[in-house]
Amino acid sequence: MNWLVAVPVALPLVGAGLALAFARSPKVQRLVSLATLSLSLAAAVMLLVYVDSGPVVMDVGGWAAPVGITLVADRLSALMLVTSLVVSLAVMLYSLAQGFADGDDGAPVAIYHPTFLVLSAGVSTAFISGDLFHLYVGFEVLLTASFVLITLGGTRERIRAGTIYVIVSMTSSMIFVIAIAATYAATGTVNLAQLAQRLPELDPGIQLVLQLLLILGFAIKAAIFPLSAWLPDSYPTAPAPVTAVFAGLLTKVGIYAIIRTQTLLFPEGRLDDLLMVVAVATMLVGILGAVAQVDIKRMLSFTLVSHMGFMLWGIAMTSSAGLSAAIVYAVHHILAQTTLFLVAGLIERRGGTTSLLQLGSLARLSPLLAVLFFLPAFNLAGIPPFTGFLGKAGLLQAGAEHGGLLSYGLIAAGLITSLLTLYVVAKAWNMAFWQEAPEELVPSVPESGRTMTVLPRAMVAPAAGLVAVMLALVVIAGPLFTYTDAAATDLRARTPYVDAVLPDGVRGTGDSHVITESESAQDALDPGEDE
């Protein structure tokens, strides 16, 4: 069954090729995108169940670790895969519906489908790579796709925002490559499992440098303050579906990489205090930025930055409880933030603008939209019984257990951030939906010339679907926490991951023959068999 790991990467890539080949036939493109994303999601769900009994490892090309490239799915990877694919599928449906509603026969730009699928493949690659360099390649795949998506159409504003985004992303990639080069020079391997064994033998100073370099590269991607200035300016200019998928996934890939490297490679957590300070700054600066905004999209971008701090906090606590809460929070945040950006797109459609100063009385015009904004927004603020509350409660609990001055400072910062988030979203809801509009709302006019007095149902449905998934998470919060607790315990223990990748001990076999499951079991018993 270990071929299953590669499906969420291989399928979208093949789909992207097909979609590119059928660039002139929007129907085929639609079919291909939906089919590949759905099948990948199915594979990811199967993985989610499958990895509950241990990490699934696939050696690409039959070259066993540590020689070849390894794909590994453990509980954390599988959970992130499922969440990201759910979100991708919903966003894809939304953008298709938007295409239909705008009267261009469901065909956005011909390049949209292939690029979106490549983005999905890149995100999946990052989640399952068991190899530092392969992680870099995954990052590059998703970044390159995101460059195209963020500058789609090449309008003035998108080129301006895209320029900054591209340069910042590339700089972070360069730092990542430097980190890889330094790691390889110091240890002679880039395989994560083997690094986990070799890094502790290094000089502590060198370890610290490697850790800092890796965190620096990932923190730019995850928009951790003070490396977050690029995000609130880049995201709002992109089209609504693109912003939604970026907000949900790209920063979380950075957080995932931080979790993976911190737990697997640097379990001692020597930078925890630094991470905690940075988490406080990220939360507070981000949310204060959001308070000052009068545009929904920009406001949401600032809350996105702010709430990355919560996940960083969970990572910095170096405890299973903290990690588990961070993972829950990441899942919650992917769903909530994506939904909010999709709904912001709907608001823009219905009200003609996303500026809170011009919007008003949308609740009367479109009650469904009001509910769709209300639920994820207050989920983000952490009102019980939503998942935002559960994640934050987990973090607070872990923080209290962790103890120490910094930890209590973080608890205070977390509470302040939550209250300010509540203030921000309540203000937005009040201004956009509740109070009277300052003037007559002008619905946006698509190219076909029809005014959108009624929102297309097909566009509302994906957003509503995501809200439903979000609410479903509340219902299954118990099993979810059990799952993430197990994931966090695995991450802290490290042995399940390392043993799965290197079943034959320190060196692994590096055998180049195709390993079937029964054979690999035999190999584990008798490593010298083939020689």
Site of interaction with other proteins (CB under 8 A): 67, 95, 98-99, 102, 104, 108-110, 112, 133, 137, 140, 144, 147-148, 151-164, 166-167, 170-171, 173-174, 177-178, 180-182, 184-185, 188, 190, 229, 232-233, 239, 241-242, 298, 446-447, 507
- C-beta atoms surrounding 494 within 10 Å: 16
Q: Which is nearer to other proteins, 148 or 365 (CB)?
A: 148
Residue type, 387: T
Write down the least CB distance from residue 180 to other proteins, Å.
7
Distances in Å between the Cα of 109 and the Cα atoms of 11, 95, 244, 487 are 22, 11, 18, 40
Residue recorded with tokens 């730019």: 220
Write down the least CB distance from residue 357 to other proteins, Å.
13
Q: Which is nearer to other proteins, 159 or 472 (CB)?
A: 159
Q: Is 442 helix (H, G, I), strand (E, B) or coil?
A: coil
Residue partners of 315: CB distance under 8 A and separation at least 6? 255, 258, 259, 262, 275, 322, 323, 326
Residue partners of 457: CB distance under 8 A and separation at least 6? none
Distances in Å between the Cα of 396 and the Cα atoms of 109, 225, 402, 410 are 45, 21, 10, 9
Write down the least CB distance from residue 116 to other proteins, Å.
11
Q: What angle do CA 313, 319, 320 make, to 5 degrees?
A: 110
Quote the radius of gyration of the chain (alpha carbons, Å).
Answer: 23
| CA 271 – CA 212 distance, rounded (Å) | 8
Q: Which is nearer to other proteins, 302 or 378 (CB)?
A: 302
Write down the least CB distance from residue 105 to other proteins, Å.
11
Q: Which is nearer to other proteins, 139 or 313 (CB)?
A: 139
User: What is the distance in angstroms between the CA of the first residue and the CA of the last residue of the chain?
Assistant: 27
Write the DSSP string, 187-229. HS--BHHHHHHHGGGS-HHHHHHHHHHHHHHHHHHTT-TTS-T
Q: Which is nearer to other proteins, 80 or 132 (CB)?
A: 132
Residue partners of 455: CB distance under 8 A and separation at least 6? 346, 349, 350, 366, 368, 369
| CA 36 – CA 18 distance, rounded (Å) | 10
For the chain, how many helices (H) and strands (E)? 22, 2
Q: Which is nearer to other proteins, 183 or 484 (CB)?
A: 183
Q: Which is nearer to other proteins, 62 or 384 (CB)?
A: 62
Write down the least CB distance from residue 194 to other proteins, Å.
11
Lookup: tokens for 311: 């996940």
Write down the least CB distance from residue 436 to other proteins, Å.
23
Write down the least CB distance from residue 8 to other proteins, Å.
21
Write down the least CB distance from residue 134 to other proteins, Å.
10
- C-beta atoms surrounding 273 within 10 Å: 12
Write down the least CB distance from residue 402 to other proteins, Å.
35
Distances in Å between the Cα of 270 and the Cα atoms of 161, 375, 422 are 36, 39, 34
Q: Which is nearer to other proteins, 147 or 374 (CB)?
A: 147
Burial status of residue 479 (CB atoms within 10 A of its CB: 0-12, 13-18, 19 or more) = exposed
Q: Which is nearer to other proteins, 180 or 459 (CB)?
A: 180
Q: Which is nearer to other proteins, 42 or 281 (CB)?
A: 281
Q: Which is nearer to other proteins, 143 or 336 (CB)?
A: 143
Write down the least CB distance from residue 189 to other proteins, Å.
9
Q: Which run of H or E residues covers position 179?
A: helix 156-187
Write down the least CB distance from residue 130 to other proteins, Å.
15
